[in-house]
Amino acid sequence: MNTVPDTLATPTAPDVPDVPDVPDVLTLGETMVALRGSGPLKLGGTMAVSVAGAESNVAIGLSRLGHAVRWAGAVGDDEAGELVLRTLRAEGVDVAAATRDASAPTGLLLFEPRLPDVTRVHYYRAGSAGSRLTPAAADAAFAAGPPRVLHLTGITPALGPSAAEACRRALHLAREHGTQVCLDVNFRSRLWSSDEAAKELRGWLPYVDVLIASDDELPLCLPSRPSSSGTEPEKSLLAEGIRELVVKLGARGATVHTADDTLHSPARQVHAVDAVGAGDAFVAGYLSALLDGADVTTRLDRAIITGAFAVTSRGDWEGAPTRSELGLLSAGPGTVVR
């Protein structure tokens, strides 16, 4: 804390204890080094180096929109891990709660474009530092100042028992501190089965305020007990205590269900270059407007806009807009901003 030297004549304010910075959002998960090929991997060629991870994508998106964000994750004590931390710091994300694991490497993923609209992704994350995330990471992240919102995805618990336990610990801490919880289901069939995902995520529902999922992911969250005949899955989830259910529909836009209303917004028409990361940008936009205290209509609109920005650029997070850029999507073709 800065204080005025005693030698100055101006009166000084009484000393007060330092208060940790309170982030708007805490994200918890694995970020990997991402290599993007120019064609089939078996033919060699050049690769662009970046980083990627659903939770850190959301963190960067929120930081660009002016929010204070903390990322808690683990990287290897290697150059790849330094790239992850350096990139997040450069994007204004607080990584003070991140840890370096000297006995495990930073995860890796390779993007392989095979058709104009088809990209294969190859993961090398088994035994990675991120998969060994521990509950202590959640404790450290909350000890540095409890966030207003905790954002989790269904990817992190699929990485291994320790990472799953870290998520459960974060949920309990969120409950203790009155922190809102946002869960993006983000099901990855190459990480775990639908039965495994359902068993884990259904146990999270009592802690979740905002649930975000694609329409085909909703069954993973439905109560295990049979619902009454004809009951819509959205109504079943709201009855479980979910405050807002946000359903991503891809090119068809998105819908928000609450106890009082159902709102739909179509997708914005843009020239799509790369759909990877669009869902994370969508989440960042929705949470940004929620943090601003905006109504549900505005939240959905901002999410649609940020998602549209994401698909117009290559990369997981590179196309995420700043707050001052949100209005650019309404500009006509050929517009030059001078």
Active site (catalytic) residues:
280
Would the CA dihedral through 185, 266, 290, 87 be positive or negative?
A: positive
DSSP 158: G
- Enter the DSSP assignment of 314: S
Residue 35 to residue 23: CA distance in whole angstroms: 30
Q: Phi and psi of 282, rounded to 5°?
A: -60, -45
Q: In the numeric block, which tokens belong to residue 18?
A: 């330092």
The single-letter DSSP state of residue 105 is: P
Please give the single-letter amino acid code of residue 181.
Answer: V
For 38, how many CA atoms within 13 A lie in the half-sphere containing its CB?
6
Residue type, 232: E
Tell me the C-alpha to C-alpha distance, in Å, between residue 186 and each of 28, 73, 136: 14, 18, 24
Joined tokens for residue 107: 């995860």
**Residue (of 304, 243, 313, 244) closest to 279 by Cα position:** 304
DSSP string, 174-238: HHHHT-EEEEE----TTTS-HHHHHHHHHTTGGG-SEEEEEGGGGGGGS-SSPPPTT--HHHHHH
Cβ atoms of 73 and 31 within 8 Å: the answer is yes
